[in-house]
Each structure stands twice: as C-alpha cells, then as structure tokens.
Amino acid sequence: MALGTPVVSTPSDGMKDLIDDGINGYLTDDDAVMAEKLLKIMNDADHRNALGQQAQNKFNQINDAPKYKQAIFDCYRS
C-alpha cells in the first residue's frame, strides 16, 4: 500500500481494517472472485492506478508519523 499497490486479500481481521473493498483493493473469500479481481487489476491500467492511489492515500492516512509521535508523547506525558 505504501508503494501504491492495491491489495487483494481474504477478509481477515487486520485486512478488514486496511482495505476498503473496491476503493483501494478487494476483499473476498471466493477464489474465483479473487482471480477475477486480480486479472482486472493486472489488465486495466486505469483501474490499477486508481486503486493504487487510494491504497497509498490510506497508507499515508494511517501512518502519519507526526501524529504517531504526538500520540506516544501524550501517553508518556499523562
């Protein structure tokens, strides 16, 4: 996600928090659907780029270094 790569995964606990299905990647338990989504990403550059940009945006949103540093500082300051 940090490199703008859309993720296709099963909807496991952590992935459900990271992936917005159809926005920055795909979540599915169905092997046929997973293959279909992977092929769509590989064969459609515009779709791949749109998902990838959203994946990178999500990464940047949840990995905000200044916000993280402030949260750690606040924990120790309390």
Per-residue exposure over 29-48, b if at least 16 CB sit within 10 Å of its own CB, e if not: eeeeebeebeeebeeeeeeb
Measure CA 55 to chain center: 4
pLDDT tens, the chain, 78 aa long: 999 999 999 999 999 999 999 999 999 999 999 999 999 999 999 999 999 999 999 999 888 888 888 888 999 986
What's the burial of 23, exposed, middle or buried (CB within 10 Å: 0-12/13-18/19+)? middle
8 A C-beta contact, residue 65 and residue 2: no
Residue 77: its H or E element: helix 65-77
